Chain A
């Protein structure tokens, strides 16, 4: 009786479900259209740029060759890669150490410190841009990899997510290890780190993307073109070639390609890290 009722209801819903699917599909296609348009324009010749066809009639690689030969685009990308990887690796190490202390170790002032770290959530780069610039300048880190990397490492987000994860690991594991004569560092290094591989890989993708895409901070502290990161590189490229949209779209495609690839391969991890940030 119940099952027949269920079946009739699901059949009743079927055309409705199809409509929902079609609406969602159209919206999703509209959402990704601008990115498809970017890739399409990157392969179009200068005369075809203003045409309305999505598939280029005469696809060409000339725009990419032009971008890489006219500006040191490879240097920009290497800089971005170096900075993003360094920040990601150091941040994961520091954040997981801090999260381990905040979740597994007992010491006076722990909760106050956690609250303090938590409150830095409200501080964002634009708000502290001027004093941070003066500070970094005073430290002699203007126009240096250190200036690009070090201030980007510290944020409460990673500590918070890792702490949430470490709380769920049974403490008995650590106690057993300590009884067997492990030091607390060994517990962290041989037990906690391997166990937190899933969340660490999610955060790694997240940090890498954020740093690869960062613009305001590199713009503020690097005037030396040899240290420019890729977003800064394309922004200045656009100022030079303001109406050559085929070149600008080619440069944009190259800058976006690593992030899109990263998304395709690690979308599950990325989505997980965003999801867990919303749930308390």
Chain B
């Protein structure tokens, strides 16, 4: 008892000696102020350039904006227009097809590559890098490279297909193939990035589990479904969530579509975000574009809620 008070007194003396109460603020309050000051620049920026536009976006859909920046309230007009706009409905269908194919496509290729490069094989570091490289190149460049390889008659891939006797297939010019072609490029671009995330998840799984399974005579297939898949759930959830958010909003997809197809042929690759961009910046229909963006946000929220419900927040507990 006496020793603790002595220490406290000593500390108190030391404190008053070295740091007299400069601004009449206690240490606790100064920490409060410092905390807010340290946060201020980023918090302000996030509020102004992310949160505010998000909220404005939801409200802007109820307005008509003309070229001079005058807003006029039009109620639900934009939303009614949306569902009678054939081109919007097409772009919605394209977006949903894109999401339903690109999410599992990237998920599976990323996971398979991670399982491959997790093995003890020679030059594994270099092989991992090779799978990742497409991801550091911009999507604009990626779009051109593939467009060049697929170009009718002169492109390497179209020549290859022709030499196989399959005739001339216009990969980007035929409405039946264009979206599929763009999808393959997106998967090629993104698989390496997701491979790294999966690899990090796989390396978290203790090796003893596999050794135990091996001693019990379990094959690779059994080991995958009983050890890898259940223990990889947090990583799988993270990957699925980010893929859903990016694919519904069309992040990245926009660049490729802009460069490779411009939404065509016959609107077969007109992703939601691409149509929104056209309406806003080619035709100046900001209100209408914002209404459609809000609709995409709603789709994204529904998809996220379904993902959370199915996986119970990333735990995938079906039993």
Contact = CB atoms under 8 A, between A and B. Distances in A.
A184 B25 CA distance: 14
B210 interface: no
Contact of B31 (A32, A107, A123, A231): A107
Nearest to B191: A31
A197 interface: no
Contacts of B119: 17, 20
Given A32-B133, A124-B249, A275 B34 contact: no
A271 B131 CA distance: 12
B7 to A, nearest CB: 14
A271 B194 CA distance: 11
Nearest to B28: A106
Interface in B21-39: 28, 30-32, 34-36, 38-39
Q: For the complex, would chain A's binding face be called helix, strand, loop or mixed by DSSP majority?
A: helix
Contacts of B280: 129-130, 133
Interface string A119-157: 011111111111111110110000000000011011110
A267 B145 contact: no
A248 interface: yes
A122 B130 CA distance: 30
B204 A279 contact: yes
A235 B259 contact: yes
Interface string A99-114: 0111001111010010
Contacts of B129: 263, 267
A154 B56 contact: no
B141 A127 contact: no
Contacts of A7: none
B53 A231 contact: no
Interface in B206-243: 234-235, 238-239
Contacts of A277: 197
A170 interface: no
Contacts of B293: 126-130
B83 to A, nearest CB: 19
A202 interface: no
Interface stretch (B100-108, B164-172, B174-182, B250-258): B250-258
B43 A130 contact: no
Given A231-B138, A279-B200, A107 B130 contact: no
A15 interface: no
A215 B138 contact: yes
B41 interface: yes
B261 interface: no
A86 B251 CA distance: 23
B39 A24 contact: no
B263 interface: no
Given A126-B249, A128-B50, A215-B138, A41 B148 contact: yes
B255 A134 contact: no
Contacts of B133: 31-32, 35, 260, 263
B53 A132 contact: yes
A155 B42 CA distance: 8
Interface residues of B, number: 98
A150 to B, nearest CB: 7
A38 B142 CA distance: 9
A200 interface: no
A101 B35 contact: yes
Contact of B45 (A137, A154, A238): A154
Given A25-B127, A100-B38, A238 B144 contact: yes
A66 interface: no
B42 A97 contact: yes
Nearest to A209: B136
Given A101-B39, A245-B151, A267-B129, A235 B258 contact: yes
Contacts of A116: 51
A67 B197 CA distance: 38
A274 interface: yes
Interface of A: 17, 20-21, 23-25, 27-29, 31-32, 34-35, 37-38, 41, 49-50, 52, 94-95, 97-98, 100-102, 105-108, 110, 113, 116-117, 120-135, 137-138, 150-151, 153-156, 159, 181, 184-185, 188, 209, 212-213, 215-216, 219-220, 231, 234-235, 238, 245, 248-249, 252, 255-256, 259-260, 262-263, 267, 270-271, 274-280
Given A17-B120, A129-B280, A238-B259, 4 more contacts: A124-B245, A135-B52, A135-B56, A255-B140
11 contacts: A100-B38, A101-B36, A126-B273, A128-B54, A129-B276, A245-B151, A249-B144, A260-B133, A278-B238, A278-B239, A279-B200
Interface of B: 18-19, 28, 30-32, 34-36, 38-39, 41-43, 45-46, 48-54, 56-57, 60, 65, 69, 113, 116-117, 119-123, 127-134, 136-142, 144-146, 148-149, 151, 153-156, 159, 188, 192-193, 196-201, 204, 234-235, 238-239, 245-246, 249-251, 254-255, 258-259, 273, 276-277, 280-281, 286, 289-290, 293, 296-297, 300, 304
The 6 closest A-B pairs by CB, nearest first: A213-B138, A107-B35, A101-B38, A50-B154, A278-B197, A154-B45
